[in-house]
A and B are shown apart, each in its own frame.
Chain A
Amino acid sequence: MTHTTVAPDDKRDVRRADKAAASDRSKSENRLGMKLVAPAIFLMLLVTAFPMLRALYLSVFNYSLTAPDDREFVGFANYWTALTDSLFWETTLNTVFIMVVTVAIELVIGFAFAMVMHRVIFARGVIRTSILIPYGIITVVSGFAWQFAFSNNNGFVNAWLPFVEDGFNWFGQYGSAMAAIMVSEIWKTTPFMSLLLLAGLAQVSEDMLEAAKVDGATWWQRLWKVILPNMRSAIMVAVLFRALDAYRIFDNIYVMTAGAQGTESISFLTYRQVIEQFQLGIGSALSVLLFLSVLLIAFLIVKIFRVDLAAARQEG
């Protein structure tokens, strides 16, 4: 940023000099960096690359665990089966629906919580801790807790909501079952969102806010013109992480509906093929497709927010 005051011609020279000077230092730094991460990369490859390659390999076979002798090479037939099957698209649509709704709601609530945690002046520890408690609870437990809460036999939700009959079965039809699943998901992961946003909030300099205040900006203007633009990379990271997590939703569905009433997600479909039906071939193909769609979502989010990740880490 300091270079902006330098004349155009000099600027180029300075940059070049900068680059040349940096290269010696950065070369040795890079070498050291590589040495430092090498053991971790090796370990990661060992535990992640093998199963991934194995899944790729298995996905081109028609292979059932209960009929190992009947295994046959089918090329990309499993992918074709999955991509032409309406069930695959229904579950994908379902998953995208869950992802969009939960991330949107979590972003709003999470931001409010982050503001509270950032600005709170009394009982800071207690308030911050109580906001974070749901995130410390295991998803399966949260799923069960909400399942009991929504149950029409012993739950309290029906009694609390004025417009719902007492005997209403939340898990009896698509809409309400999805609502229950999403409530559990939102309750459990909003704290994570707010934690990431809190880190972003802390980066917004007080000087800028003071300056805006002096210039007569209202609270609303300060939020939209100063705070949010300066948090863009933090918001992107929060949305990215949560979106990828939400896209792989499994536990809540498994616990609350076990996929009934059309509430299956793409992870659940994959689980059923591999774990319940023992169909390793088509199951692996589905998990490869799941992996590719996660990559695609990550790419899209990075593109939409137009954030340079390196800049976000203040390396630029």
Chain B
Amino acid sequence: MASRSSTPRPGRPRARRIAGSVATLALASSLLSACGGDGGTPTLNWYVNPDGVDTFREYAEKCSTDQYDIAVQQLPASATDQRTQLARRLAAEDSSTDIMNLDPVFVAEFANAGWLEEVPEDIATEITDGGDYLEGAADTVVWDDGVYAIPLWANTQVLWYRKSLAEAAGLDMSQPVTWDQVIEAAAAQGGTVGVQANRYEAYVVWINALMQGAGGAIVTDTEAGRDAKVELDSDAGREAAAIIQKLADSEAAQPDLTVSNEGTSLGQMFPEEGPGEFMVNWTFVYANYKGLVGAPGGPADEQEFEDLGWARYPATVEGEPSKPPIGGIDIGIGAYSEHPEWAMEAAQCITSTEAQVDLAVNDGLMPSTNSAYDEVAAGGEFPEDLLELYRTSVDEGGPRPKSPFYSQISSAVQSVWHSPTSVSPDSTPRESAQFLDDVLSGRSLL
């Protein structure tokens, strides 16, 4: 065909056109099959979120073998966009989605939809047997008695504060402190309390941690799907609402409380005037202030940086240990991948101790295993007590509800609990429980 089209007969344009299109088709199909890589080394696609991409690229290269190459594909910055992009691919049974960075709350959703390859038993046991993996991190990958992902790094929140502020308020930070104490101490000294209370996921992180700290949960029996038990209208729910109300009404509330996020309260720690703040926030805070010494928004000098303190997440109820929030990234394998065994092998390499240590040192993303923590501690990059605090927080932390309907649960809670200034223990828990129940059973639009 190709030879015919290369020597066209001028008198027969129709035949020429047909020959031409056949040649084009032949060419296109040969190009397509070249993409498929028969003969060449197959490529495994690794979808990563934008934190620590350089380290991911390095490990994509390191973990590639003679049998396969790993190619890094970057996902959008927002968690919602990451989730929808992956879900769209997986719902269409995309065979080129091999390895994925998953936010812990996606694991149950994706696993229940049948989009994740189950982790083989030997690796699964290693994760769940309580040996090397920190409990809070290991718990995020379990759904319905199966393990559907491998923890890569684990995030957690701690209470960051100015030592001088706590001292002036007479607060003994060597003991566990409660939310009430923190709010009162800050208010008494003209300081503030930084939280995340905009209408977005981190607000649910806060509410969830408050409720778990009082021994409750937003929902239980999540494996029942739509019939999960909504527990918002409980003592724990009322305790949580009371704390949010107390902060919103207190002078310690920051002016942008209703739109506050992880970034907005950073500047209040070392303000030009005033004693600073108490702030619950993720682990990136330490490296953030360390890099800002002498710069605007950061401590004025090394001495002021030394005034930065950290303690375990505040307790909801006095005497009951707090449940610090858990975040991070788990590695999942696409159920429609053409090379699931290789992808699983690659995932193990990507989540190796060495990789976890590199992520911690290069990008400040904290490990999910004890052995990686030990190595990071030996490196001396972080204060030892801080690392110990992270490790205990992840180990004893509380995950958000694991449910195939998590996104609905989260949005329903946000819609009733926002704005924090309108939260009341008498009405908010009851109303949100009713609304969430309606949403889950399909009686209400979200």
| Residues in chain A within 8 A of chain B (CB atoms) | 62, 64-68, 70, 74, 77-78, 81-82, 85, 87-88, 260, 269, 272-273, 275-279, 281-282
Contact = CB atoms under 8 A, between A and B. Distances in A.
Nearest to A67: B404
Contacts of B6: none
Contacts of A68: 113-114
Given A66-B405, A67-B113, A67-B405, A273 B446 contact: yes
Contacts of B199: 260
B113 A279 contact: no
Given A66-B112, A67-B112, A68-B113, A276 B407 contact: yes
Given A70-B226, A275-B84, A64 B445 contact: no
Interface in B224-262: 225-226
Nearest to B199: A260
Contact of B225 (A67, A78, A275): A67
Contact of B113 (A66, A78, A88): A66
B443 interface: yes
Given A66-B110, A67-B225, A277-B411, A269 B405 contact: no
Given A81-B444, A279-B408, 9 more contacts: A67-B113, A67-B226, A68-B113, A78-B442, A85-B445, A272-B446, A273-B446, A275-B88, A281-B442
Interface residues of B: mostly helix, strand, loop or mixed?
A: helix
16 contacts: A65-B113, A66-B109, A66-B112, A67-B112, A67-B226, A70-B225, A85-B444, A87-B445, A88-B445, A272-B446, A275-B88, A277-B446, A278-B407, A279-B408, A282-B442, A282-B445
Enumerate the 10 nearest inter-chain pairs by beta-carbon distance, A residue then B residue, closest first: A66-B404, A85-B445, A67-B404, A66-B109, A66-B113, A87-B445, A62-B442, A70-B225, A67-B225, A66-B112
Contact of A81 (B87, B112, B405, B445): B445
In the complex, which of the residues A65, A85, A88, A260 has the most CB atoms of chain B within 10 Å of its own CB atom?
Answer: A65
A154 to B, nearest CB: 18
B356 to A, nearest CB: 29
Contacts, number: 59
A65 B407 CA distance: 12
Contacts of A81: 442-445
B80 interface: yes
B431 to A, nearest CB: 14
Contacts of A282: 442, 445
A199 B91 CA distance: 45
A68 B109 CA distance: 11
A272 B439 CA distance: 14
Given A66-B112, A68-B113, A276 B84 contact: yes
A131 to B, nearest CB: 36
A184 B345 CA distance: 50
Contacts of A77: 442
Nearest to B83: A276
B112 A277 contact: no
B445 A278 contact: no
A88 B445 CA distance: 8
Contacts of A67: 112-113, 225-226, 404-405
Given A67-B112, A67-B226, A276 B445 contact: no
